[in-house]
A = this chain, B = another copy of it.
Amino acid sequence: MTANTDDRLRLLIERVERLEEEKKGISDDILDVYREAKAVGYDPKMMRAVVKLRKMKPDDRRQMEMELETYKSALGLD
């Protein structure tokens, strides 16, 4: 590798590193919100579950929930 390509590589690596730092900061912020929520009595696990559900399109979500109920019934999980 020439010095030129070395520099190009280094620049790319450094961009990745900067972005990863930012990302880490935001991940920490998210953890903080969950910690804060827990401190006032909410259950982070349930919160994560509803965050996931809210990401879905309502119709898809309902469809999925209905199907799950079918499977649960078939196995006596009521």
Contact = CB atoms under 8 A, between A and B. Distances in A.
Interface residues of A, number: 43
Interface in A30-78: 30, 33-34, 36-37, 40, 42-43, 46-47, 49-51, 53-54, 61, 67-68, 70-75, 77
Interface SS majority for chain A: helix
Contacts of A46: 67-68, 70-71
A51 B8 contact: no
Interface of A: 1, 5-6, 8-10, 12-13, 15-17, 19-20, 22-23, 26-27, 29-30, 33-34, 36-37, 40, 42-43, 46-47, 49-51, 53-54, 61, 67-68, 70-75, 77
